[in-house]
Amino acid sequence: MENLTFAFALSILLFNSFALSLNSITDKQSLIFFKNSITSNPYTILSTNWSQNTSVCSWIGVSCGLKQGRVTALDLYGYGLAGTLAPHLGNLTFLRYLDISNNSFTGILPFELSKLRRLKVMNVGDNSFTGEIPTWLGSLPKLEALYLYNNSFLGKIPSSLFNNSKLQTLQILHLHYNKLNGSIPHGIFNVSSLRDIRIKSNSLSSWLPSNMCNNMPNIQILSLSYNRIEGQIPSNIWKCTHLEILSLSFNNFSGNIPHQIGKLRFLTTLYLGYNNGFPGGVPPEIGNLTKLEILNIDDASLTGNIPFSIFNMSSLKMLSFYDNSLSGSIPNFQNLPRLKALYLDYNKFTGSIPPIMGNMKAFSVLSLSNNSLEWDITSTTFPKNCSLLALNLNGNKLEGALPQSLSNCLNLIYLDVGNNRIHDTFPIWTGNLTDLSILVLRSNNFSGTVSSLTAKTMLPFPKLHIFDISHNAFIGNFPNEYVRNFKEMMDVHEDYREEQLGLPFYTDSFTLTLKGMDRILRNIQKTLTIIDMSSNRFSGSIPNSIGKLKSLIYLNLSRNCLTGVIPSSLGNVSALEALDLSSNQLVGEIPTELTKLTFLSVMNLSMNNLSGMIPQSNGQFSTFENTSYVGNSGLCGLPLTQKCEGPSPPVMLQEEDDDDYGILNGFCWQAVVSGFGFGFVIGTTVGCVILGYGRPKWLVEWIYRFYRIKMSEKS
């Protein structure tokens, strides 16, 4: 009897061992099928490690259970794999963890994955999956985390996933960065286990239910930004008592910000900006959010003053009320000891800049542009070891000279004091700020030369990629000493693409003049490279070294007194998209090398002394119209009506008796030195007027005739 019992037990053991062996073989075969569906394996992980001759449990990315020896986890995050997802993965019936995120998989999620009844985590994010979100996901009874973010899933979010008891174990739902549309299923807000919902950056519409937070006691993160959600923010938002991050920006919310929001005592991040507007202003109850670190309510039609209660928020690190209609004076934010970044641009604040300007030891970003602030900036002293990274005071009424103590902010990346009333010479000391990426001095009263370098600035501006000193009164030769050291503009940085400046919470903008119009560029990227020195009184020639700035996108040298020829080296600036050299004294032919600039979409060479045939091209260059060339009497060929006949005539100044405008087109410093006495005064005064207003020929003709009469009287 004992022998029979032993034999029976042994047979069971052998059977189980055989069954486990078969199951292990099934797991290996399933993974082999998966491997064979891979079309790109750049790191050769699968081809060199996943061998038929070794145990599946020793393969990279594969984990097995100790008891059964079955595959329980497949983690292939970030291996650069491409291909489709083999349906045979559905045979890994002991799988609990699946992560194939940050790869290049395409196609749909196969139905066979619905057999993974033990699966707790599915992460297929950051791939190129498409199709609709499959309804069979609702049949995974133990699923706790579902990551489908950053793919191309389209259609509606299936409401059936959240009906009855489906997905009631789900804690994390990430659907952001897809192409989903339709309304958000209200059933989502009945899944009481959910603590992290991220559905931002889709095209979802409709509204949020008024009882949204009644059944979500565990929710900590709710991110619905960049959709089309309408209506009001639910007043029962306070019932989501454990909420830490609330992001509802870039939608169509309206009404008032519910004052009950002040009851969310665990909230650390609040984004409500870029909606249809909250005209009721900032509720004072917001000051009860003592753990809040980031508060952003940009472009939301806010009115009134900044509530005083905001100074109770001792944990606040970033405050942004960008582009609203807030008014009054800017309060003293020194009472917020952790505040690093303050954005109050495009409001209606008046008065002086608060004392925080003089206490920059721990501050990173101060952006107060486009208000009506009046202040003598000369009196500001920036302390040693100043930690300021960005200072934007553009578009106010600041006067005085730019304080040299700003050079104590050695890590400064962004300096914009444009469109003010600052009287100063060029701040040579800014060349010592080795991290400076953006320098904007435009539309002030700066004067003098820009070419005097000190011993400490032998290699100035190594990281500069936006240099705007336009609309001032700078004189002297083209500042080649600076431009030749703009190393950041010399190489085309493909790896930068949409990378933005390394500033905390950075969301600032830059005003660019293009085609005679100011355009606001938000979220400045490293690839935006600009030189704008227009509307000054620079003289001399444009150096050939300008051609080394291969990543330069925008070059504007218009309305100066530049002479010489257009350097052919400009044809090497392969990234150039806009070129304006109008209203100068440039001579010679248009270099044929410019036809190589395939990205050039805006070009203005008008009001110079250029001659010869306009270069012809089958590419982008042929799209420019007459306005790009007017005011150059020596030019011929398409698109002008003047035909070319024989060789181009030599470039000469017109005689005094000629009726042409040869000398008038270049009325710059020649007007200053062409006579004495009364002629000197007229030449100097009118030369500046003409430069500032684009040299209208009727005015030049009148001045020229008047000048000749006065000179003949003196003779």
- Rounded (10°) angle between helices 678-692 and 697-714: 180
SS3 of residue 691 by DSSP: helix
- Where does 379-425 show beta strands of DSSP type E? 390-392, 397-400, 414-416, 421-425
Query: Residue 386 carries which side chain, given as an amino acid letter?
Result: C
CA 503/CA 364 separation, integer angstroms: 8
> How many Å is the Cα radius of gyration of the chain?
34
d(CA 345, CA 638): 46
Does pLDDT of 457 surpass 90?
no
Backbone angles phi, psi at 377, to 5 degrees: -70, -15
Question: Per-residue confidence at 519, pLDDT binned at 50, 70, 90?
Answer: low
* Overall average pLDDT of the 289-304 stretch: 94
Using the structure block, give the residue that is written with the tokens 């790896």.
495
- Residues 57 and 34 sit within 8 Å (Cβ to Cβ): no
- pLDDT at site 22: 46
Given pLDDT bands bounded at 50, 70 and 90, which one contains residue 619? confident
Q: Could you give the CA distance from residue 448 to residue 437 in angstroms, rounded to a whole number?
A: 23
Neighbours of 532 (CB within 10 A): 23
User: Is 526 a residue whose pLDDT tops 90?
Assistant: no
Q: Say whether pLDDT at 335 is over 90.
A: no
Tell me how far CA of residue 338 lies from CA of 310, 341, 356, in angstroms: 13, 9, 13
* Residues 598, 601, 602, 608, CA torsion sign: positive
Percent of the chain residues topping a pLDDT of 70: 80
Which residue would you say has higher pLDDT here, 517 or 354? Answer: 354
- Tokens at residue 295, please? 């508060």
Confidence of residue 77 (pLDDT cuts 50, 70, 90): very high
Q: How far apart are CA 47 and CA 404, in angstroms?
A: 61
Q: For residues 8 and 527, which has the higher predicted lDDT (pLDDT)?
A: 527
CB 586 within 8 A of CB 635: no
What residues contact 179, with CB distance under 8 A and at least 6 apart?
152, 153, 154, 202, 203
pLDDT at 112 > cutoff 60: yes
Compute the distance between CA of residue 239 and CA of residue 508 in angstroms, rounded to an integer.
Answer: 34
Residue 269 phi, psi (nearest 5): -135, 130
Q: What is the DSSP letter of 333?
A: G
User: Given this model, what pLDDT does residue 161 score?
Assistant: 86
Residue 492, C-beta contacts closer than 8 angstroms, at least 6 positions apart = 550, 551, 574, 575
d(CA 409, CA 406): 6
Cis, peptide link before residue 639, omega less than 30° from 0:
yes
Integer Cα distance of 589 and 585 in angstroms: 13
For residue 59, pLDDT over 80 is answered with: yes
Mean pLDDT of the chain: 83
pLDDT score for 643: 85
Residue 452, pLDDT score? 58
Model confidence at 1, in pLDDT bands (50, 70, 90)?
low
**Closest listed residue to residue 573, CA positions, set 611, 529, 540, 612:** 529
Average pLDDT on 47-55 reads 89
Residue 3 is predicted with a pLDDT of 55
Beta strand 554-556 with 587-588 is unpaired
**Confidence category of residue 26, pLDDT binned at 50, 70, 90:** confident
